[in-house]
C-alpha cells in the first residue's frame, strides 16, 4: 500500500481533513473528521452516487467521534476502478484503508446503498468491526422495495448532473423534510457533484444479486438500525426485517424521509454517538443453532408488519408505511 496525502482542501470545514490515499493501486478521496473521544473511529459508507461532502452536515454534528469516509471508486474525488467490483471488494478496500490509517478496531455505519457495504464489512471482518449502524438500508435484493416509479429514478445518476431534474423529483424520491421544505432541495443539489455514469453503473452492478439474508443471523456486533418513517426508497419494513434477523440489534424510527442523516444531522449524530458510547451494550452469546432459529422466526412477525401497514385504514384509505 502506498500513501499520497494532501493537506486539507481549501474551503473544507476546519474539523475535516481530506486526503488522497492510494490503497492497493486505487486512489481514494478520504475525509476524516477528527474528534476528541476515546472510542474507536466511525467508518461511514455513503449512499449510491454520493460524494463525501453530502455527509458533511452529519460529520459536523458529531461531538466527540472521529469519523472516516471515502468516495468509492468512480464517485467524487476517487477515480474509477479499472474493473467492476462487489461489496466484498469494497470491504477489503476499506479494511486496507483502516489499516493504513493505523486503526485496529473501528465502528462501522452505512447509509442506504452504503448500508449494504457496511453489512458486508461487519460480516467479512467481525474482529475489526466493533459496532454496526445501519441507516435507511435493507438486506440487498431481498428487500421490500419502494414503488416502481421511485426505483426507476434510481437507475440513472441524472439527479446528480441535472439540478432542474433534481428539483422536480427530490420530494417524491426522498420524502420527509424534502416534501415540506423546498429550500432543502437546492442546498442538497448544490453539494452533489460526484456521480459519473460508469462509476454509478459500477455501484449498481456491485449490489446486483447481492443479499445479506443468509448470514445476518451470524453478525456478532451490537447493531443500531435507523429508519425514516416517510422513506419512499427504502420502506421502514426493511428496518423491522433487519431488526428481526440480526441477533443484537435495536431499531429506532426517525420522523423524516430517506435522507434524515442530511436533514436531521444533529438528531442522527446524537443517536449514533449515544449508541457507540453505551458501555452497557454487550453481545448476547448464542449458539449458531439458536441464531438460525431466530432468523427463521423473525421472518414471520417482520412480514406481518408489512401486511398491517398495507391494510386499509378506518377512513377507507390504504395504509402506507413510507
- Cβ atoms within 10 Å, residue 145: 13
- Cβ atoms within 10 Å, residue 1: 12
Task: Give the whole-angstrom CA distance, residue 65 versus residue 56.
Answer: 14
Contact 95, 186 (CB under 8 A): no
Which set of grid coordinates corresponds to residue 148? 416502481
Ramachandran category for residue 10: left, alpha or beta (phi over 0 → left; psi -120 to 50 → alpha): beta
The catalytic position among 78, 81, 112, 212 is 112
Which set of grid coordinates corresponds to residue 237? 419494513
257 CA to centre of own chain: 14
Which set of grid coordinates corresponds to residue 163? 439540478
Helix pair 113-124, 87-100: axis angle to 10 deg: 70
Nearest of 153, 223, 177, 138 to residue 57 by alpha carbon: 177
Based on the residue annotation, tell me whether 280 is a catalytic residue of this protein.
no
| Catalytic residue annotation | 112
Amino acid at each position: 500500500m502506498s500513501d499520497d496525502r494532501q493537506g486539507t482542501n481549501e474551503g473544507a470545514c476546519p474539523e475535516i481533513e481530506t486526503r488522497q490515499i492510494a490503497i492497493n493501486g486505487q486512489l481514494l478521496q478520504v475525509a476524516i473528521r477528527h474528534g476528541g473521544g476515546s472510542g474507536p473511529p466511525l467508518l461511514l459508507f455513503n449512499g449510491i452516487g454520493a460524494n463525501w461532502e453530502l455527509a458533511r452536515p452529519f460529520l459536523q454534528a458529531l461531538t466527540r467521534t472521529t469519523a472516516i469516509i471515502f468516495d468509492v471508486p468512480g464517485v467524487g474525488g476517487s477515480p474509477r476502478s479499472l474493473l467492476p467490483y462487489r461489496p466484498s471488494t469494497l470491504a477489503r478496500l476499506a479494511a486496507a484503508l483502516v489499516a493504513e490509517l493505523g486503526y485496529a478496531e473501528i465502528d462501522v455505519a452505512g447509509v442506504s446503498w452504503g448500508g449494504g457495504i457496511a453489512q458486508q464489512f461487519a460480516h467479512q471482518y467481525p474482529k475489526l468491526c466493533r459496532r454496526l449502524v445501519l441507516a435507511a438500508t435493507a438486506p440487498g435484493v431481498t428487500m421490500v422495495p419502494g414503488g416502481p416509479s421511485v426505483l426507476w429514478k434510481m437507475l440513472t445518476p441524472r439527479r446528480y448532473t441535472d439540478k432542474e431534474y433534481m428539483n422536480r423529483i427530490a420530494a417524491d424520491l426522498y420524502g420527509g423534510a424534502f416534501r415540506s421544505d423546498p429550500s432543502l432541495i437546492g442546498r442538497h443539489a448544490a453539494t452533489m457533484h460526484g456521480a459519473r455514469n460508469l462509476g454509478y453503473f459500477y455501484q449498481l452492478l456491485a449490489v446486483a444479486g447481492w443479499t445479506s439474508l443468509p448470514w445476518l443471523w451470524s453478525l456478532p456486533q451490537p447493531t443500531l438500525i435507523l429508519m425514516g418513517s416517510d422513506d419512499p426508497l427504502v420502506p421502514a419494513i426493511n428496518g423491522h426485517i433487519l431488526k428481526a434477523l440480526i441477533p443484537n440489534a435495536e431499531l429506532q424510527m426517525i420522523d423524516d424521509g430517506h435522507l434524515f442523516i442530511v436533514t436531521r444531522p444533529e438528531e442522527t449524530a446524537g443517536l449514533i454517538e449515544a449508541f457507540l458510547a453505551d458501555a452497557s451494550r454487550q453481545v448476547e452469546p448464542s449458539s449458531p443453532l439458536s441464531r438460525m432459529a431466530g432468523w427463521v422466526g423473525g421472518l414471520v412477525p417482520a412480514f406481518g408488519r408489512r401486511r398491517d401497514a398495507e391494510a386499509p385504514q378506518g377512513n377507507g384509505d390504504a395504509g402506507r408505511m413510507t
